[in-house]
Amino acid sequence: CRDKCYKGFHVESPCSLPPSLHSHFEQSFHGLHLNNFFQYDAVQPGRKKLSETFVTRTLVGNPGTTYKYLGLRLFSHPWCEVDERGNRRSEENCGTSSLLKLGYTQSASKALITMGAVNRQLTTRSNTILSQTIA
């Protein structure tokens, strides 16, 4: 069904991914968990009783990224260094100092920066697979 309904959809087995990618991904999620990034949302479906959602979530991404669900807008925690205006710094500046200035702990900053690095690895991997598939 996948080949018919989702032509071109690419699936890789976990063992085909580099072990360092798994390790960095787990380290990042563990750091986000330890720093209480995952929160329950308070929603008011149908404008009735205010209640918590059943699952926790967070948003990590480029500075300024937002996501809206059930009328609630989430703003991303930055996964990269930012300048004094909150804009993304270049990839060469890949430390955690600007996140520390924003009030993130060293542990939280490291988890966010690591998640950004994992995202860049996966993006590069996806682009490589895409170029091989199209070629």
How far apart are alpha carbons 118 and 114 in whole angstroms?
A: 6
pLDDT tens, position by position, 70-82? 777 889 999 988 8
How far apart are alpha carbons 90 and 81 in whole angstroms?
A: 8
pLDDT tens, position by position, 89-116? 765 556 668 888 889 999 999 999 999 9
Taking the C-alpha atoms of 123, 124, 128 and 133 in order, what is their torsion angle to the nearest 10 degrees? Answer: 0
pLDDT tens, position by position, 11-27? 888 888 899 999 999 99
